[in-house]
């Protein structure tokens, strides 16, 4: 993606975030590619919400612009909805483990089930909401330079 593409995507994220009730959040688009946290080989995007703050960083894969406009919109909406729901995951990860009443396998089972439930809820909300939001308008690519025709002597 070009610098103009990254700027357009950052502005789009801000616009969609405002529509999703995240006006007071600071959102930073990072250019590092997202890394899968499990065995899946490819993820399109990832959001990291900073605990206790209204701040999140978002990463997208380098192939993001090549996705369909609908998929781009769904991906951004999905990641932004995580900003609302991530605090529950942080409660599971932090406070539940800190209680010290669960063995590791019980904790892992609860955390995994909670993660799946959050992903399902995030997807369902994203499907319901995304169609009401605009797709991103990417900058037009620079016109190709005309090839110079060698002059004849």
User: Where along the sequence are the contacts to Zn ion (CB under 5 A)?
Assistant: 119
Phi, psi of 58 (to 5 degrees): -125, 135
State the DSSP string of 4-28.
HHHHHHHHHHHHHHHHTT-TT-EEE
Q: How far is the CB of 74 from Zn ion (least distance, A)?
A: 11
Q: What's the gap between Cα 6 and its chain centre?
A: 14
Closest CB to Zn ion among 9 and 77? Answer: 77
Closest CB to Zn ion among 47 and 133? Answer: 47
Q: Report the SS3 class of residue 49.
A: strand
Q: How far is the CB of 68 from Zn ion (least distance, A)?
A: 18
d(CA 75, CA 5): 16
Q: How far is the CB of 78 from Zn ion (least distance, A)?
A: 6
Q: How far is the CB of 136 from Zn ion (least distance, A)?
A: 19
Closest CB to Zn ion among 84 and 102? Answer: 84
Q: How far is the CB of 110 from Zn ion (least distance, A)?
A: 18
Closest CB to Zn ion among 1 and 89? Answer: 89
Closest CB to Zn ion among 7 and 90? Answer: 90
Q: For the range 30-37, what are the long-range contacts, defined as Cβ-Cβ under 8 Å and sequence gap of 24 or more?
A: 30/57, 30/58, 30/59, 31/6, 31/59, 32/59, 33/59, 33/61, 33/62, 34/59, 34/60, 34/61
């Amino acid at each position: 993606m070009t610098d103009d593409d990254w700027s357009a995507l950052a502005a789009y994220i801000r616009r969609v975030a405002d529509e999703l009730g995240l006006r007071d959040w600071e959102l930073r688009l990072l250019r590092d590619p997202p890394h899968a946290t499990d065995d899946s080989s490819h993820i399109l995007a990832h959001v990291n919400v900073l605990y206790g703050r209204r701040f999140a960083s978002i990463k997208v894969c380098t192939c993001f612009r090549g996705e369909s406009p609908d998929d781009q919109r769904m991906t951004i909406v999905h990641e932004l909805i995580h900003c609302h729901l991530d605090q529950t995951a942080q409660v599971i990860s932090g406070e539940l483990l800190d209680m010290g009443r669960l063995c590791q396998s019980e904790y892992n089972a609860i955390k995994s089930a909670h993660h799946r439930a959050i992903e399902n809820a995030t997807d369902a909300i994203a499907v319901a909401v995304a169609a009401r939001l605009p797709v991103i308008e990417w900058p037009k690519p620079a016109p190709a330079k005309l090839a110079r025709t060698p002059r004849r002597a």
